[in-house]
Structure 1
Amino acid sequence: MSKQVGRFELIRELGRGAQSVVYLARDPQLQRQVAIKTLHFAPSDPQQKQQLLAEARIVSQLRHPSIVPIFEAAEEQGDLYLVFQHVPGRNLAEHLQLSGRLPAEKAIAIMQAILDAVAHAHAAGIIHRDLKPSNILIDDDGVPRVMDFGIASRAEGLASDGAPLSGTPAYMAPEYIAQRTSNERTDVFSAGLVFYELLSGQRAVPGSNIDEVMKRITSTDITLPAELNSALDERLVALLYRALARDPEGRYATAAQMRAALDDYLAPETPVAGVEARQSTIEFLLRRMRHKSDFPALSESVGAINRITSSENQNLAELSNTILKDFSLTNKILRMVNSVHYRQAGGGNISTVSRAIVVLGLDAVRSIAITVMLFEHLQNKDNSNQLKEEFLRAHLAGVLARDIGGKSMARGDIEQAFICSLFHNLGRLLSQYYFPDESAEIRRLAQQKDCSDDLAAQQVLGLSFEDLGVGIAQSWGFPRLIINSMRKLPPGSVRRPANMDDRLRVLAALSNDLCSLVADAGVEQQAKELRRIVARFGEVIDVDEQDLQRTLRKSFEQVSQFAGVLRLNLQQTNFGKQSRAWGGAAGGRALAADLPTQEDGLAGTVLSDVAADGLAGDEAAADGARSTAAAAPLSSEVILMAGIQDVSNALISDFKLNDVLRIILETIYRAKGFKNVILCVRDGRSNAMLGRFGFGPEAPEIAKRFRFSLVFSADIFHAALANGADILISDTRDAKIAPRIPAWFRRAVTAETFVVFPLCVRGNAVAMIYADRQRAGEIVIAKAELSLLRTLRNQAVLAIKQSI
């Protein structure tokens, strides 16, 4: 290595990349230390060098406290070199390696400085093109300093069209990879990736294979890990996801807007003048909605279900666990999947959420769960009549889309069509709940001025129902294709969709147009309006007026079944009256004969509140509890029997072992109101019993802590496994029991009572089921229940034998 570059004396190397090296150097003329970055391109391109020198001269004019200035730019022995101010300290990538993820407040402070620097450069017409942690220095005072503006490093490889890509693949925007578009929004996307790293402590798009990294950026929405997503404020997560929107139009238009949004987050009650008007209004309305205590709960639940179903590793147990946290939701979902529609679709006789997911799929159960949650959220409010009308209208739209699209779509796509159409008018639905006075004014204004609801909403709320719905859907983590379907189609004839995203958008528009026809058109207008819809969508759907009328009548029946599950009397709604005008649902009656009742074991009760039934193995205690058991509902026994039937149905089909075991664990969890139920499996290599999965608020964490050697030790677990004996420990603190509770267990859980069911094959324990409650004495099992629990245990053994 030469000791000198130009007049600068090299001291030592600071770092290097694929085509650049950075040195600490001394300027003998000005007697100061500087940083020199040498750039070597192979093959050499004189035009490229001149372009970079011209960019460097422009960048050297930037003056901002968060920008590392360029002092000089020149050429030495055929290679370019750039002279920067030397900033003592580490770059942000090194800083994050040492510190890990940062607290939200500190991450925001760093991002504010970065965005100020980027916005300053944008104002001068300069796009960074390679914003990443290693190009952000943290000086000795903790101040972020951005470097390398406009000086793009070259990726190792070419794009599909042969044109070179400038920048670092893991920090490129989707439109730049696909179309070479480079503007302020591409820098915003890169800033979002840096913000992701600050909040999570890890790269958003990991990997060393450039093609795979770029494919992920262009084809997959970037989301935080589930545990971090739920830990952060949903407003901050929504802000991050907006910066990372794959569609540039969904992003902040400028770095200044993203900076203003961060300011608004830190001071939520203070309007920020710099925020784009529409976004400012959405955030203002979201703040108003959060003042009602149920909106955050709804947002968290919907967001959690969306994160699970959109995950690359879709997790049956995680979705089941999320739903099982709400007993009311669980029971309504089970009643729904046993209704006529889902029996025809392959369901029926389903008593566990796990089995429902196996039979119907994650998307179908998501559709049901979110629909039920939305209704539960809206009912019994001051303006409940209007809310019910809006909800029934939205639900009909989803059913229509599912029926119309069902002829040509896969099952997962059909459920996407249902959700897209259900939420097409989300803004109007939630406006009616959170802003009833404004919604009444919107209806009055639309009628008075003979204009659309969206135009009236624009005047009253400051934005359209469509924009409000999109903003809320983004905060709930709905995937891009659903959010895209919430956008209205342009007037006139609808063109045939080019891809699935467009098809879902068209289906949502068509089904909601049909709902408007049902809700608003008089008898004398029905035929005319139906012809208009057929003409508008004629190139998209291969149906005539009679086909649509038959579809409407079929959909009315399905909505009627749904209303029956929710105990909603359609005869008292305008929707029911309008459906009768179309010959649907025979007056909107609920098809009660087709719905399971509490006696079927699917309505259930809050099992954790059921009185104790007795104690297995203790005749005196059992006898003393029989009067209580006789007076209490037999919900636990009924649920156990229904679960046994569920497992039997699964065993005679082409089952997956883990699915059957999850159904068994869920049945045990629901029937006896356990806090946690865990499956442990023997690991032959380590000769240890390892926790695998389970149900309960702490189940995932506890499963990880369950690990003990199978070398015999005089404790409760080894006694149960060695003898194949079911053991119930009523109180882990009991003087006779305490010495036999192993230390690893006391470290793993705080439960004071638990039960163990060994799973033995040919006399050897291959697995075990563990279930607990928090307080001593809370687990009591009657003889009939014990027999049913052992039947479930034996079914688990049978499933294991069949899988060996």
Structure 2
Amino acid sequence: MNRDNNNAEYQVSRRIQCRDGSVLLLCGLDGQCYLLDPLTATDNRPAPAHGLLASPDTTTQLAGQPYSCYPMSDNQLLSDTLVSKPDDRTAAGMLCDCMEALLHLQRHQLILPRLDAEHILLDQQGQACLLAGQATTATDEASLQDNVRQAGQLFYRLLTGRPHGSLPLQQFRPDLDPELHQLCQSLLDCHAAASTVSRAALAQLQDWLVRQQRFIRSEGNQQAALQQLLQRMRHNPDFPALSQAINAINHIGNADSERLQVLAEIILKDFSLTNKLLRVVNTANFSQFGGAVSTISRAIVILGFDTIRNLALTLLLFEHMHNRSHAKEVRDVATSALFCGLLARSLARHSRMQEAEEALICGMFQQLGELLCVYYFRNEYHLIRKKTDTGSSPAQAVQHTLGISYATLGTSTAEAWSFPERIVSSLEPYPPGPVRQPQHNAARLRMLGNLAQELTQLLSSPVTANTTQAQQLLTRYARALPLEINSLHAVIAETQAEFASTLHEWSNEAHVQGKAQQLKGATLGPHPDSKPAAPAAELESSCLASGPATTSLLSSGIQEVTSTLLGNYQLNDLLRMILEIMYRAVGFDHVVLCTKDPRQNMLQARFGFGENTAALLPVFKVDLQQQDNAFCIAMERNVDIFIEDASAAAISSHIPAWYRQLNLAQTFIIFPLVLEKRKIGFLYGDKNQAHSLPLRPDELNLLKTLRNQALLAIRQQQN
């Protein structure tokens, strides 16, 4: 509504003189009170809606002068409250509101012509609102910086009760908290980017205000506590970039036909993330081409969308948290979170669950709340540690200090970052008592994340966890994930090997320290002598240590295969090259390639290396109609099988009769060749003696890389 030439409608009750010479009018109309602000600009832009920005109800003209009209309701001008100078906490709170509103304007490249106590309204709760009716487009960075300096002048006035002048703040307020003095000066001296200065000042103000409350929250106001914590994080200088990147990745949907391109573009925007991800992709744990992946697009095509997406998310969080200046505390929590994620993935793989890669995210984010606390709320984190040291339980200390649990902070942040509901719900901890068997994907992810978290806590305890505690934990999860104690030992050992390798690959640290060192060597007590009850679990065995020559030979061979793949080649020649690399590098007694006979449901040995191979090939046949043997399990489930002792009681029943009759080997490994659920064949290698094939995790990964190169070659030939 626009009222023109209606002098009679508004009854001016008061004129308010501003320092720049302008005059505000307090007027009455139809029993309501209005504040009239003279319009001075012609290019006014409506300010985007925000709770701390007051928009005019209408415009009018008085004596030819246009005004913006603001309904006052029960509000009052901030300048009217300065008759009695506010205390420092109140002043900081008012400025906190103003800086948040100002930052919102800066995001939209808007400035205000005046930011002073006369152009700010206070409601009955003391919340400040900027008059935003005259917001205009910022023509340059200098105009944005000028608004920040005006905010500094306002803070000076709030702290001293005097308008900003030439006299330094300390002269009027020698008793002022040095942090507030420094903050005010940083605003007055604004020379950096306005948004950077504003965001840093806002985060500092919020941290200071929380410390004045002695970190004690009422139990009944969890939502308010949560919102304040989230708000403090949002205004930390480096949090928005992290949130934006994670949000963007999570918003790529499965239905997006260009999702590979979109993911590549998001990653490439972050130079550091791009370099880190390519370095990790080209390491043994991830590489498919022995270091040949040089673009993000190729990495996505080769490793798959989900693998690169999950790797990018974990790297974003790990790198963000890992590089904090107060490094030891953050590093300990970040490495513990990484271990938890790797453990969740190992548990999923051991149980042959399809959610293995997603379990890494769910496991790692179990400690998201603690990560956020140690990173953004350092003082509160120290107080929590003090409370636990003096006898409080960790849960009580966190609740009393933050007003919410770590889990609530983590799930709320994950929700704000647009993680899928199945991942957000997986961060919810289980109550005490037996855990039910999960019936769907989200429930399985929650179970894996919680179990990994509780195991990580056991392994992180100052005193080495004993088998009794571990057994109690397995009993709690018995219905959800049947797992024998000796199988758990194997899963933990596998995770620790991968943890050490991943830490080196991700952080490039030669020697791990602190919590990482503890987790790397922690045990759940002595390894029991009993054999596992579930025979299928025996089919995948842990790997031992071996010399460095194997790694070198495998890596060189992978480079050779890569060069061959880039040129013209015969498929059989390349497959023989892969078998020869396996044979020479590892020292297998036999290596064999088996492929499917198109005339019958059989896998037939085609060629290989080793003693008496010519006689072996015709009789090395696998009938795929037989289900309960190691070869068929490998093909049906597309899993790598490593048998350390074929004569072991729990294993012998899974060795087919024809293999036993050959009396070939006691130790062997099977790498299935499956393309889009089509069973093509497998690579086989053996050693005559049981337990005579020591392979480190990185060597096993290099062998898998050779298998993947074989699959690529087959795919290329078929295309």
Give TM-score, length-normalised by structure 2.
0.43
> Which structure would you say has the larger RCO, counting Cα contacts within 8 Å and 6 or more residues apart?
2
Q: Which has the larger radius of gyration?
A: 2
Give TM-score, length-normalised by structure 1.
0.39
